[in-house]
Structure 1
Amino acid sequence: MHKILVSSCLLGAPVRYDGSGQQLLHPQLIAWQQQERIVAFCPEIAGGLSTPRDPAEIVNGKVITNTGDDVTPEFQLGAKQALRLCQQYNIRFALLKESSPSCGRNTIYDGSHSGIKVVGMGLTASLLEKNGIKVFSEQQMPALVKALA
């Protein structure tokens, strides 16, 4: 059975920038957990960032907090560690948190820290896709279920 990389916050872990989780309650996700197919991972924590932390958005290819700090190196490190984990466990599918500067699959925030979303990918989602790992957001659960069937 294929393992699936899943954003830790989607499993309820309090790893988001504001110290919260955003648990996805989906019967298939629960079944995968019971089958021990889930590999939980937060690239921002793995990259060395704390919880809570200043919110960050992608601005001209860099990840910048709302206070102006450049946290691109931490986001890049987390993305590389996610890729290594996928390679280690032969993971071909990932379920990541939409709109995150790390995990966003289809949308990210526009960099103005004003709540506006644009089409784009986070650093981790982009690196995984470039390396042949299929990335899905929590809004694409039916497609992920179908891909794993």
Structure 2
Amino acid sequence: MSPKILISACLAGFKVRYNGSDKPLLDATLARWQREGRLVVCCPELAAGFSTPRPAAEISPDADGAAVLAQRAQVRETTGADVTAPYLLGAQLALETARRHDCRFALLTDGSPSCGSQLIYDGSFSGQSKPGSGVTAALLRQQGIEVFSDRQIAALVARVSEYERQAAPPAADADGQSPAGGE
């Protein structure tokens, strides 16, 4: 069984980041998965109705996406606007997309208040990052989807290969018998 992978739209080459840029990943395995129809492209922020470009946003200092999901923190733009509700909506829409396509894994853009899975910005708008997850990455993990950052492609490829080996039916021998002796 070949699992599908939810991928941040900016990593797939779409110019959807807050500043109108993309962050394309050039990787042979990702290119093969794309040809095989295994990548499901999603931008939680665009899905929630944000435009491109848009003001930068960060999660409250001393918090992360899990705290936003638990309603203990907010997402704010550089303008000061509270954009927590659309970030929560974007996370829900990304989860629905992942479920609809039976995605077992996600490859998301680190640093983003939505997609960051290893690092997010510290909430001070000073360019400083800290360990943590964005709102979408936190929700996907809570719902059992394995999330990898754009810096973890090798780990994702290894994990998908392991998943495929575990999901593969036992091979039949030369007589058509499975190792358990069935037909």
TM-score band (shorter)? Answer: over 0.9
Which segments of 5 or more consecutive residues in structure 2 lack a partner in the other structure? Answer: 64-72, 162-183
Amino acid at match of 1:139: R
* TM-score of the two chains, using structure 1 as the length reference: 0.98
- Aligned partners of 1:7, 1:87: CA distance in 2, in Å? 15
Distance 1:75 1:44 in 2: 7
Matches of 1:4 and 1:52 in 2, distance apart? 26
1:42 deviates by 0.1
Give TM-score scaled by structure 2 length.
Answer: 0.80
| Equivalence for 1:86 | 98
The superposition leaves residues 11-39 of structure 1 with CA deviations (integer Å, 9 ceiling, x where unpaired) of 11010000011101111111111111110
- Between Structure 1 and Structure 2, how many residues are aligned? 149
Amino acid at match of 2:51: S
Identify unmatched segments of 5+ residues in structure 1.
none
Structure 1 segments, 4+ long, off by >2 Å, are none
1:86, distance to aligned residue in structure 2 (A): 1.3
Q: What is the aligned partner in structure 2 of residue 33 from structure 1? A: 34
Query: Which amino acid is 2:4 matched to?
Result: K
Equivalent positions of 1:1-149 (< 5 A) are 1-59=2-60, 60=63, 61-149=73-161
- Counterpart residue type for residue 73 of structure 1: A
Structure 1 window deviating more from structure 2 (57-66 vs 118-127): it is 57-66
CA distance in 1, matches of 2:26, 2:101: 25
Separation in 2 of the partners of 1:33 and 1:87?
A: 18
Between the aligned partners of 2:3 and 2:20, the Cα distance in structure 1 is: 30
Q: Deviations over 1:54-86 (max 9, x none)?
A: 000001521100110111111100100111111
Shift of 1:10: 0.3
The offset of 1:2, in angstroms, is 1.0
CA distance in 2, matches of 1:27, 1:108: 27
Letter in 1 for 2:42: F
Q: Identity of paired residues, percent? A: 50
